[in-house]
């Protein structure tokens, strides 16, 4: 009966969770350019780039539920060439999105037998960026790791009888997917049910926060320097029934892949610092020349109906989250603090704002926070369980989740800007 881990974490900010669930559901389950099984396989490919077993396993199950060919789960060598051709843009988007060019787009659109349509490609790009950024959130909030008492909540293994985060409040059973694929967004979302679910999540997360603060006070009273995993003199061992599990079907057979390498090529390709002092900086992406508001939104909404509105709502929602406590601790206004985090993340991907003084970043963000943000953003698979607990020890859990939501949305927008700009250049 426990809520799925991503939903638990986002539940600290129920308004954002509402927006996220609508977008997730629309991407994966509503009418769109791509077949349902392909959507989940693309999500598998994206999550595998960051070795995120948590998301891979979720989408393996959803892929099979959508009628996907089990042979595809053997790896990229067993999928149609059209889908396999997406591997290159997946790799670049995940690690060095500034390398994407209109030639990459042209290659996918011009292959005669296995060509993509513009609408299909936009849907695929949004899925890739969504899952890359979500992998950052999963690792950043510790959803990939086992949790003990007093932590972020013990998790039950997902089985076909449970709901995944893309289904909460939406009633997306296999029968609904088969019969009602053509329903409108408003009728299928069952928004009232979704709001009730979000409210329930909010109540649960408030209770967990109170328990965490009580536990923290107890630990501080017993003295500093207690080893991780040892509380009240008792060692908490990992319970084999909680944490990360391969998915199982109704007969108990494991369906999740144990070797994620089969879902990607060139596994050594990873993030490299964009700002190299010895490199030409002419490739800096200037938001004044191509922005989400003025360019990306209209393009994506034209080629994939309504998704632009949902993404825009999600970007605005995370920007509107209350952060007065965080900002007060840093001695600045909430908007200034959030913009510092957002612009720092974009800067790591070579995106610059001409009207921003980047000296503010070093003034606003302490070194440990910057290390955490960069790790979660650029190579989330290197995030360990201690990093979340150790950065900003004086901050509430909900505030740390807020930072991870900013990372998720800033990273997703950065990837989308590069991909949509390349598509625009191809179309000109």
Judged by DSSP in three states, 261 sits in: helix
Q: Give the DSSP per-residue string, 350-417.
A: TEE-TT--THHHHHHS-HHHHHHHHHHHH-GGG--HHHHHHTTTTS-HHHHHHHHHHHHHHHHHHHHH
Q: Which two tokens stand for residue 365?
A: 């963000």
Phi, psi (deg, nearest 5) at residue 219: -65, -45
Q: Give the DSSP per-residue string, 60-109.
A: HHHHHHTT--GGGGG-GGGS-HHHHTTHHHHHHHHH-GGG--HHHHHHHH
Q: Which of 52, 131, 141, 166 is catalytic?
A: 52
In contact, 78 and 399? CB cutoff 8 Å? no
For residue 334, CA distances in Å to 146, 301, 323 come to 33, 30, 6
Would residue 52 show up in a list of annotated catalytic residues for this protein?
A: yes
Q: Which residues pair with 248 in a beta bridge?
A: 254
Q: How far apart are CA 89 and CA 27, in angstroms?
A: 19
In contact, 56 and 257? CB cutoff 8 Å? yes
Q: How far apart are CA 102 and CA 183, in angstroms?
A: 35
Residues that are catalytic: 52
């Amino acid at each position: 009966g426990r809520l799925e881990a991503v939903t638990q974490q986002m539940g600290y900010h129920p308004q954002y969770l509402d927006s996220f669930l609508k977008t997730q559901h629309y991407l994966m389950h509503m009418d769109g350019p791509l077949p349902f099984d392909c959507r989940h396989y693309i999500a598998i490919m994206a999550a595998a780039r960051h070795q995120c077993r948590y998301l891979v396993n979720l989408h393996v199950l959803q892929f099979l539920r959508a009628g996907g060919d089990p042979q595809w789960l053997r790896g990229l060598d067993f999928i149609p060439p059209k889908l396999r051709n997406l591997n290159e843009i997946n790799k670049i988007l995940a690690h060095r999105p500034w390398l994407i060019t209109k030639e990459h787009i042209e290659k996918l659109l011009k292959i005669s037998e296995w060509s993509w349509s513009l609408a299909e490609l936009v849907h695929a790009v949004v899925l890739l960026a969504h899952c890359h950024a979500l992998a950052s959130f999963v690792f950043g909030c510790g959803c990939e790791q086992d949790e003990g008492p007093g932590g972020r909540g013990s998790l039950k293994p997902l089985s076909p009888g449970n709901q995944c985060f893309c289904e909460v409040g939406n009633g997306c059973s296999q029968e609904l997917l088969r019969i009602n694929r053509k329903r409108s967004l408003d009728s299928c979302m069952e928004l009232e049910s979704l709001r009730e679910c979000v409210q329930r999540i909010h109540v649960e997360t408030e209770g967990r926060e109170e328990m965490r603060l009580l536990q923290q006070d107890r630990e501080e009273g017993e003295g500093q320097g207690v080893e991780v995993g040892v509380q009240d003199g008792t060692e908490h061992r990992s319970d084999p029934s909680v944490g990360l599990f391969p998915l199982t079907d109704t007969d108990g057979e494991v369906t999740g892949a144990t070797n994620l390498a089969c879902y990607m090529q060139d596994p050594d390709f990873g993030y490299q610092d964009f700002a190299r002092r010895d490199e030409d900086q002419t490739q800096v992406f200037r938001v004044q020349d191509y922005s989400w508001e003025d360019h990306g939104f209209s393009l994506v909404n034209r080629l994939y109906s309504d998704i632009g509105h949902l993404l825009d709502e999600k970007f605005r929602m995370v920007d509107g989250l209350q952060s007065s406590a965080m900002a007060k601790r840093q001695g600045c206004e909430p908007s200034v603090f959030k913009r510092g985090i957002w612009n720092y993340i974009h800067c790591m991907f070579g995106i610059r704002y001409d009207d921003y003084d980047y000296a503010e970043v070093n003034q606003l963000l302490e070194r440990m926070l910057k290390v955490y943000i960069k790790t979660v953003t650029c190579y989330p698979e290197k995030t360990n369980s201690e990093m979340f607990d150790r950065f900003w020890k004086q901050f509430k859990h909900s505030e740390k989740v807020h930072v991870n939501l900013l990372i998720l949305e800033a990273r997703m927008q950065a990837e989308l800007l590069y991909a949509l700009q390349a598509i625009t250049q191809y179309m000109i």
